[in-house]
Structure 1
Amino acid sequence: MQHFWVIGTDTDIGKTCVTVLLMRQLQKQGLRVTPYKPVQTGEVIEEGHAYYYDTTMYETYSLQQLERTDLNDYSFKEPASPHFAAQLEGQKIDTKRILEQIKRLKKMMDIVICEGAGGIFVPLDVNGEVTFLDVIKQSQLPVVIVTRTKLGTINHTLLTLEALYSRGIEVLAIAFNGDTGSALERNNIETILQHHPKPYAIIPQYKELSEVMDHSITNTSLYERLYQYDTKII
């Protein structure tokens, strides 16, 4: 089956939004889909209730029953880079454990959507020797890149693409997230695609993630790339 990563050109760029959107769209096709966030940071406390945003959004908006143990391996309270958040709690992130979990989920599900944390060079150990990019490479899965449409996205996106290509990692598509329809944003998107023509989707700026329930990307080349690949294999 086709499984893939959703990775970002930076932190707070909408990876969870895109993961949830793709999860729902593919679940509507009758496919068994689970998201998987290997490492999440930043515990949220509201009215005495503690939770983690990413995995809570998975459970809230999934069209299928999800197993909580399938969604995440490491959760750290501090909203920081994984290596530092883990260090604060006296823990170490075992990349072998992450890869074994991906392997296990692939046997169970039609599609596993693995979500990264921050950008691709985010370190996972205190020495900075292992990054998320290393885990992506070792998983042998392709990626969907999530990037902004605003000023600065051209540089961030092209650098991310170059890093992935230099390591032989397949890029399935690009999700341009948070679009407001300005001329600047349109030019940014066109410029990136001129350098790297890829299937893509333009996702509008949401006020609330709940708007994902009313949005469809089935008519985009990004979705066609994923779904045609999936149906061909299935």
Structure 2
Amino acid sequence: MTRFVITGTDTGIGKTVFSAALAGATSTRYWKPVQAGLEEETDSETVARLAHVAIVPEAYRLVTPASPHLAAEIDGVAIDPDRLTPPEGALVVEGAGGALVPVTRSLLYADLFARWQIPVIVCARTSLGTINHSLLTIEALKSRRVPIHGIAFLGDTMPDSETIIPQISGVRRLGRLPRLDPLTPESLAAAFRSNFSVADFR
């Protein structure tokens, strides 16, 4: 059964696109527990457009585009962690930003991941700085005993980074999703099939 949490080494690196690719390749539902920012296309809408999979409604939809803890405060919403329990069954869950983004003033996404005990896939950009950011993310997850399924690289090829991060961390490399222009459901599906093994996610 495909059941994974997707986190990243930073915000805006492409983990929603990877989530769409994974959900589409495995015909799996997608869930974004907290969506902060509604003016532009939401992550759920992006995944629905790129993957044509079932979308589980967000537990919280916050207007302000900011870290969930701050967006909730500005919007006058109190986030209840008990509402952030993933539904049963096959599911691709996407966090917000990186693993240490605050959900509330006293709860980080990594803390939720530890509570859920669902295997996490770390999405890492391949540009400068990725070694440090990736290793820090992996250490933060391991320190909380979060199960890590592997690391997926996003962007242009960077052979040394893609080798040394798995080597040092002991986390396996799942593949690399290249930049796509144009980004369409067809180009995304083809890129995922070419660069990842679907069997690694079942």
Q: Which residue of 2 aligns with 1:231?
A: none
CA distance in 2, matches of 1:217, 1:199: 15
Runs of 4 or more off by more than 4 Å in structure 1?
none
* Among candidates 107, 110, 135, match of residue 130 of structure 1: 107
Hey, what does 2:125 align to over in structure 1? 148
The answer to whether residue 30 in structure 2 is matched with residue 35 in structure 1 is yes
1:80-95 matches, cutoff 5 A: 80-95=66-81
1:11 is matched with which residue?
11
Given candidates 166, 174, 192, the residue that maps to 1:216 is 192
Of the candidates 151, 160, 163, which is equivalent to residue 187 of structure 1? Answer: 160
Cα distance between partner residues in 2 of 1:213 and 1:164: 29
Name the count of aligned residue pairs. Answer: 199
8 Å CA contact 2:17, 2:47 repeated in 1: no
Q: Cα gap change, 1:162/1:53 in structure 2, threshold over 3 Å: closer, same or farther?
A: same
1:59 Cα deviation from its structure 2 partner:
1.8
Q: Structure 1 regions of 5+ residues with no counterpart? A: 28-32, 46-51, 228-234
SS in 2 for 1:124: strand
Map Cα deviations across residues 88-118 of structure 1 (whole Å, 9 max, x no partner): 110011110011xx1xx31xx4x11110001
Sequence identity of aligned pairs in percent? 34
Task: Report deviation, 1:218.
Answer: 6.2
C-alpha distance in structure 1 between counterparts of 2:201 and 2:11, whole Å: 24
Relative to 1, partners in 2 of residues 1:22 and 1:209: Cα closer, same or farther, differing over 3 Å?
same
Q: Write the distance in 2 (CA, Å) between the matches of 1:176 and 1:75.
A: 28
User: 2-side partners of 1:177 and 1:80: how far apart?
Assistant: 23
Shift of 1:42: 1.8
Kindly indicate whether the alpha-carbon contact (under 8 Å) linking 1:172 and 1:199 is maintained by their aligned counterparts in 2. no
Provide the alpha-carbon RMSD of the alignment.
Answer: 1.8
1:133 positional shift: 0.9
- Tell me which residue corresponds to 2:83: 97
CA distance in structure 1 between the aligned counterparts of 2:76 and 2:26, rounded to whole angstroms: 38
Contact 2:177 2:192 in 1 (8 A): no
Match of 1:56 in 2: 45
Is the Cα contact below 8 Å between 1:200 and 1:220 reproduced in 2? yes
1:196 is displaced (CA, Å) by: 2.6
Could you list the runs of 5+ residues in structure 2 that have no partner in the other structure? none
User: Separation in 2 of the partners of 1:91 and 1:208?
Assistant: 37
Task: Report the Cα offset of residue 62 of structure 1.
Answer: 3.0
**In the alignment, which residue of structure 2 is the partner of 1:121?**
100
Shift in alpha-carbon separation, 1:90–1:96, aligned structure 2, 3 A: same
Give the C-alpha shift of residue 224 in structure 1. 3.0
2:25 alignment partner in structure 1: 25
